[in-house]
Amino acid sequence: MIHSPYIRKPASVQRVMGLVLLALMPGVAAYAYKVGAGILVNLAIATLTAIAAEALVMSLRKRPVAIAVTDLSAVVTAWLVALCFPPIVPWWLLVTAVLVAIVVAKHLFGGLGQNPFNPAMVAYCSMIVAYPALMSQWPPAGGLSFETQFGLILGGARDVDGMTGATALDALRTGLRSGTGGVDAVMQGSAFGFLGGRGWEWISLGYIAGGALLLLTRTITWHMPAAFIGALALISGLFWLVDPGRFASPLFHLASGGAMLAAFFIVTDPVSGATTPRGKLIFAAGVALIAWLIRTFGAYPEGIAFGVLLMNLCVPLIDMKTQPRVFGHRGQGNSR
Amino acid sequence: MITRLFKFHGGIKPDAHKHESAGAPIQRAPLPSRLIVPLRQSTRATARRIVEVGQQVLKGQRIGEPEGFLGTAVHAPTSGTVIDFGRYTMAHASGLETRCVVIQPDGEDRWIEHAPFDAEADGREATLAWLRDCGLVGLGGATFPSHVKLGKGSGVDTLILNGAECEPWITCDDRLMRERADDILAGARILFRLIGARELVIGIEDNKPEAIEAMRAAAQRAGDAVRIQPVPALYPAGGEKQLIRVLTGIEIPYGKLGADYGVQCFNVGTAHAVYRAIAHGEPLVSRIVTLTGNVARPGNWEVLIGTPIDELLPLAEPRPDTNRYLMGGPMMGFALPRLDVPVVKGSNCIISASPTLLPPPPPEQPCIRCTECAKACPAELQPFELYWFSRSKNFGKAQEYHLFDCIECGCCAYVCPSHIPLVDYYRFAKSEIWARERDKAAADQARERFEFRNYRQEREKEEKAAKLAAKAAETRAKLSSEAGEPAAGAAAAPAETEDPKKALIAAALARAQAQKAESQPRNTDNLSPETQAEIAQIEARRKAQAGDTPPPADGAVATDTPAPAETEGSPRP
């Protein structure tokens, strides 16, 4: 017997995930145009792996396969993995990463809606720990032809010094640590554009456009992106003001690495993130803070993934402590 | 007048579907072949039947007496014969039964003699009693007795009439406001005086411009200082607490009544019925019901209470692909398990549903914690948390997260992209908690009874022991006073030092000895002086023969304690 309500908004998980994929398109387009079409190959590999893994695990778990595959959640995970990996990683690395995301991070914890950690970030962190060298080789924007990228993806020989370079974040760190000069001197290097990494500003703009779409369609709320961007700008700005020679500017931080991808697509993952309005602010700000700490003082070039995983751990506590007040209970000491 | 409207959190804007039936004027439904009139017409109170099977009744004749604080009277909706009395299935999601009087109409619809009630002259208490005796309950759906809601006649500043009618499809209040605005206002004035309010506000959703206009015109005609306030059409703006919030900014938490916050709310239909009851002396025997949905002739009908729904439905001409009927709106209503159930005072709408009009929900998917439900919840809850807790039967946590503040409006389930029937989970959790509380109350009662029984038994045992001890002590005292020191010393010494059981034994022994003492000398009691003298002689002889050895007093009774027997039993010469 079916009970009320008998009418439903035409909404579905598939629609939500489809919208996220659509919102990723501008960033992907800018990526393919500025850095190279290798990313499209990687997206295809990741998508196919994710769908196959999702179908396999669901059939092993004796759950309906068709619904799980068509809800597009695995595809979103796959795209996020591909987008935060270097576009020239060998195919087997990407396949392994997606398998880690879908099988380990998602289904071993109970599947859609049950994973405490962001699957894409679990994949990123395990791979950067396991294959730090491969995960650090980024092609200079527009520096590699599609054929070269495709060859590298298929496992071709790597002439690391000649073909690939470090990201802007990486270059800045190594530059600063080698003691050749301050931020300004290091940023004269070829890896840097007018804000962050050369060419990457456009990709960031693409992600911002997609984020705007998600905000307009109310797929995400303003809390997470605002808190993430605000906190990252605040903490980097403070240190930059104190010592601009040693610390990069807030704009550099925001335009570099995966900051915009993270602000609109990664910290906003509903399943593993905080859910209350105040909790979302705390969660995203925490990710930004940890990311800045790792970028500035840590051993890895990018810290967002670790920030996300660490804050994922805090989500139950954050949610519990930030429950909004309930109708009629205003100012009665019921807000926790 | 500048009025500020307040907002409530969340809410949804489903397709209103009002136009189907909103244009159809109220028509009087034809007399059905029989009327099944439930005696339970208000929340939690069943009236006492006062008619017999075979009895002729007139329209408006009382057939049930109000019982209890929440009771209201029940009346015959038309003239006819009482043909049955018994349990009939109600319009209820679970098909519950209740006691009903079945009346076969005689077709004349003849009123019992009735006269207007002079509310001014008879005073407040009498007016409330009159409303109770007219069977006045809230017509918004909850059927709460109006005379109870009118309360003490003080402390309520704002009277709100609820004409929001926020659920899709339903248009009965809309039509009533359009067609009988003057009567509604007159009823509102009666309620206003009874409740002692200072301000009267009528809240109507702004998707009913004709109703707003009609009410404004009526207010102008009457020269009333009433505020006809359009409110944004946002489900569930017609929920009592939501409407109060929108109009006054006051939030009434779960478990509290509007009256506690100086505001009271009545449905426009109730105001109309109050007017009929006071100005015409007519008890509440009919209401407006919207018949709509998958039908050829959607409309609004004035229907006698007790009319079986299957006799009502043909008026709307349901289409052949209709697969079920909903009572109430699509957000909070329920599918009727059967159709031979009567219209009751809370029945505002019957929607004919087809698989295309109200399709079954897509399969349930896992919750992705997208918080769409939290954004839509007018009670500002975190519905997905309640869902997790209800699903895992973590009811304590569910209550901690204010499960009972949920008004079951259905907004969360409406917006859920995973198509989870969220409200069902809350209903399940609530009923489980109620069941557990009932079980716990029963268990507590049983435990208390058991503990009291134990306590009583223990107490009785102690009382018995104390009584025995007292008796023993008394006996000992008596014995010692009768028989002197040796007996008292022998019996009292252990009694003082040992536990009561030993004292009891000692007392028993003492009693036995006393008895023996009483019985033993019986041979020698009441003897003539001659016989006594003879015995004394024999004793003296024995003593002389046996030397110092004391002879047994009685050879047949050998006792462990010969000494007292001797001292007491043998009267020494």
Q: Where are the beta strands (DSSP E) in B126-273?
A: 158-163, 199-205, 226-231, 263-267
Residue B432 lies in a domain: yes
Mean pLDDT of A37-53: 94
pTM for the complete prediction? 0.81
Residue A242: exposed, middle, or buried by beta-carbon count in 10 A (0-12, 13-18, 19+)? exposed
* B500 and B440 co-located in one domain: no
Residue B179 lies in a domain: yes
Inform me whether the pLDDT recorded for B506 exceeds 60. yes
Q: Do A327 and B330 touch (CB under 8 A)?
A: no
Q: How far apart are CA B14 and CA B329, in angstroms?
A: 12
- What residues of chain A lie within 8 A of the CB of B423, using their CB? 3-5
Domain end residue (candidates: B468, B492, B510): B468
pLDDT level of residue B518 (50, 70, 90 thresholds):
low
* B389 and B502 co-located in one domain: no
pLDDT level of residue A186 (50, 70, 90 thresholds):
low
* B43 and B120 co-located in one domain: yes
pLDDT tens-place string over residues A174-184 = 666 665 556 66
Mean pLDDT of A261-276: 94
In B, minimum Cα distance to A335 occurs at: B401
Give residue B564's pLDDT.
Answer: 42
pLDDT level of residue B78 (50, 70, 90 thresholds):
very high
A302 contacts chain B (CB < 8 A): no
* B443 and B498 co-located in one domain: no
CA distance A150 to chain B (A): 36
Residue B3 lies in a domain: no
Give residue B25's pLDDT.
Answer: 93
Inform me whether the pLDDT recorded for A333 exceeds 50. no
> In terms of Cα–Cα distance, which of A199, A251, A254 is closest to A225?
A254
* B299 and B403 co-located in one domain: no
Give residue B569's pLDDT.
Answer: 41
Domain end residue (candidates: B324, B353, B382): B353
- Closest partner residue to A325 (CB to CB) among B254, B365, B380 is B380
In A, minimum Cα distance to B404 occurs at: A326
CATH number, residue B186: 3.40.50.11540
DSSP readout, B276-331? Answer: HHHHS-----EEEEEEEESBSS-EEEEEETT-BHHHHGGGG-B-TT--EEEES-TT
pLDDT level of residue B223 (50, 70, 90 thresholds):
confident
Residue B94 lies in a domain: yes
Residue with tokens 């001890």: B469
pLDDT level of residue A142 (50, 70, 90 thresholds):
low
* B117 and B248 co-located in one domain: yes
CA distance A104 to chain B (A): 18
pLDDT tens-place string over residues B531-562 = 777 777 777 777 777 655 544 444 444 444 44
Provide the domain count of chain B: 3
A:B CB pairs within 8 Å = 136
- What residues of chain B lie within 8 A of the CB of A16, using their CB? 368, 370, 417
- What residues of chain A lie within 8 A of the CB of B402, using their CB? 326, 329
Q: Do B413 and A5 touch (CB under 8 A)?
A: yes
Residue B359 lies in a domain: no
* B321 and B424 co-located in one domain: no
Q: Where are the beta strands (DSSP E) in B472-520?
A: none
Mean pLDDT of B386-392: 93
Q: Other CB atoms closer than 10 Å to residue B252's CB: what's the count?
A: 21
pLDDT tens-place string over residues B109-132 = 999 988 888 877 888 889 999 999
**Eight-class DSSP state of A85:** S
Interface of A with B in 153-212 (CB under 8 A): none
Domain end residue (candidates: B316, B333, B353): B353
Q: Other CB atoms closer than 10 Å to residue B213's CB: what's the count?
A: 15
- What residues of chain B lie within 8 A of the CB of A114, using their CB? 366
Give residue B566's pLDDT.
Answer: 41
Give residue B17's pLDDT.
Answer: 92
Inform me whether the pLDDT recorded for B524 exceeds 70. no
Inform me whether the pLDDT recorded for A332 exceeds 50. no
A216 contacts chain B (CB < 8 A): no
pLDDT level of residue B565 (50, 70, 90 thresholds):
very low
* B332 and B239 co-located in one domain: yes
* B132 and B236 co-located in one domain: yes
Residues 6+ apart with CB under 8 A from A297: none
Q: Do B9 and A327 touch (CB under 8 A)?
A: yes
* B198 and B286 co-located in one domain: yes
Give residue A197's pLDDT.
Answer: 62
- Determine which of A3, A115, A117 to mutate to test the interface with B (most B C-beta atoms within 10 Å): A3
* B193 and B100 co-located in one domain: yes
* B131 and B231 co-located in one domain: yes
In B, minimum Cα distance to A67 occurs at: B365
Sheet of B80-89, strands arranged across: B35-38, B97-105, B80-89, B56-57
The SS3 assignment for A315 reads helix
Give residue B568's pLDDT.
Answer: 43
- The per-residue pLDDT of chain A, averaged, comes to 86
Give residue B521's pLDDT.
Answer: 52
Inform me whether the pLDDT recorded for A29 exceeds 80. yes
CA distance A298 to chain B (A): 32
- Cα B25–B29–B32 angle (5° rounding)? 170
A336 contacts chain B (CB < 8 A): no
Residue B2 lies in a domain: no
**Domain enclosing residue B530, as ranges:** 484-569
Q: How far apart are CA B251 and CA B257, in angstroms?
A: 10
Give residue B243's pLDDT.
Answer: 94
**Eight-class DSSP state of B161:** E
Q: Do A7 and B332 touch (CB under 8 A)?
A: no
> In terms of Cα–Cα distance, which of A120, A119, A160 is closest to A136?
A160
Inform me whether the pLDDT recorded for B516 exceeds 80. no
Q: How far apart are CA A160 and CA A137, in angstroms?
A: 7
Give residue A145's pLDDT.
Answer: 77
* Tokens (6 digits) for B275: 């007017």
Residue B210 lies in a domain: yes
> What's the sign of the alpha-carbon dihedral A81, A82, A88, A94?
positive
Please give the radius of gyration of chain A, using alpha carbons only, rounded to the nearest integer.
20
